[in-house]
Structure 1
């Protein structure tokens, strides 16, 4: 399986995106929110406990300096719709996968470890914002869905309810889901239970045989590790020594033949 870069592929196909702009349409998805980063950009995140937001690790790095972003510059807007959120929360600290390295080189290692947890200063306890549970890694061929904000839908998220896992390679999920810039960190859901469960987060987009695909990581081991890192006090807070820890310019070999674009 060979993947190739195609930044415009997501706009070239009918992906069945459903806008969640209205309260009725978005009622089950209010725990998905927009992560605003210092007013200069945004990612997507999802609440998995009243105080923890799951997202992609690369969302927490500055594209220019390649240093970690001060969590004090990040705000989580739960259920953001047309200028209003159900809850606004500032960030106490964040932790990225210990093996994650932020650089501009395409690699499966980067996607495999591109996951982070954000701890909020105050829990979100709102009857309409129910944290999602997480689930096992989906099987090849299994139907999944994505709820995401993106550059052309920044004021309300959209749901792609039916896409599928096309392949699982070295801990990286290759999915047929539609993503674009701003979709980074968006939750990937399994619908096999009574309520959707998060089984991955969006890391990148690529092209496979002329078709847009999205790339994400499995969560089981990574999420357990991230929670342990937080408990051990290894998160970075609003005024840490930013240093350069966890940032490297070293290139890793791309094991699935892809040049990835972080959405």
Structure 2
């Protein structure tokens, strides 16, 4: 997770800084985490961790910068990565090694322009074996979130690395080219965390967390808009010999699945 001071990048945003929104809810119990098992912790060898989400039984979406050593800039070998689906209190719903990792072809880890880094900050992890468990259902996609949309984030981060946390309601407070500016709470380790929007009562994926930032001294997050960049990345995966040609939106089953809860007013 990178920290960016982006005031100069978002002068186009109108309105006041985001107000304090719903607090993080730790998904420590089986009931709390039910339906979110496709969100997992990505171990980066001995270099820490990121968050990722299944979009197909054998394919995890995360942030491209997770594939690089942040101190040296060196690429981390795919074989050093491991995806722990639904990691919670020392156990995962499924453990998978990564067979291949592919960053967006236009992503530059050492680029000097923060907005451009966020715009293409996507990576796909091809697992050594698909995860085909009834409790671990890949999420469908819903690109194109607009300013004012209410969203939620499920992530791991420092000081909450042993169970995912859900911020049930935060907001898209503006847009940059290829990126969303979010009022959501993120921290180191949240890189690659899925940003969801509620459609017909079920959460669908609209963005991936790329960086935490500040707006008028308040913490915010930047998320990559997954639309065209993800299509490009999937085409690159196919060109490189992958067997997954595209990601189709999946219809989540009603009942017993992940859902957002209306926040209680103070």
**By the TM > 0.5 criterion, same fold?**
yes
Identify the match of residue 88 of structure 1 among 91, 95, 98. 95
Shift in CA distance, 27/209, structure 1 to aligned 2, threshold 3 Å:
same
Identify the match of residue 204 of structure 1 among 211, 218, 221. 211
Deviation at 1:193, TM superposition (A): 2.9
Superposition RMSD in Å: 1.7
Identify the match of residue 127 of structure 1 among 128, 134, 146. 134
Q: Conserved in 2, the CA contact under 8 Å of 1:77 and 1:87?
A: yes
User: Aligned partners of 2:190, 2:40: CA distance in 1, in Å?
Assistant: 11
Number of equivalenced pairs: 227
SS of the residue aligned with 2:40? strand
Report the counterpart of residue 141 of structure 1 in structure 2.
148
User: Aligned partners of 1:121, 1:102: CA distance in 2, in Å?
Assistant: 25
Identify the match of residue 163 of structure 2 among 150, 156, 161. 156
Identify the match of residue 114 of structure 1 among 104, 117, 121. 121
User: Aligned partners of 1:24, 1:98: CA distance in 2, in Å?
Assistant: 39
Deviation at 1:2, TM superposition (A): 5.7
Query: 4+ runs of 1 displaced by more than 4 Å?
Result: none
Deviation at 1:223, TM superposition (A): 1.2
Q: Conserved in 2, the CA contact under 8 Å of 1:95 and 1:234?
A: no
Deviation at 1:65, TM superposition (A): 2.6
Deviation at 1:62, TM superposition (A): 1.3
Which digits, 9 at most, give the CA deviation of each residue in 1:108-136, with x for residues without a partner? 00011111111001000111100001112
User: Aligned partners of 2:71, 2:25: CA distance in 1, in Å?
Assistant: 34
Q: Conserved in 1, the CA contact under 8 Å of 2:98 and 2:127?
A: yes
Q: Conserved in 2, the CA contact under 8 Å of 1:15 and 1:178?
A: no
What stretches of structure 1 of length at least 5 have no aligned partner? 5-12, 236-263
Report the counterpart of residue 191 of structure 2 in structure 1.
184
SS of the residue aligned with 1:155? strand
Q: Structure 1 residue 78 and structure 2 residue 82: aligned?
A: no
Shift in CA distance, 205/125, structure 1 to aligned 2, threshold 3 Å:
same
SS of the residue aligned with 2:230? helix
Report the counterpart of residue 27 of structure 2 in structure 1.
20
Deviation at 1:64, TM superposition (A): 2.8
What stretches of structure 2 of length at least 5 have no aligned partner? 9-19, 243-266
User: Aligned partners of 1:120, 1:2: CA distance in 2, in Å?
Assistant: 35
Larger fraction in strand: 2
SS of the residue aligned with 2:202? coil
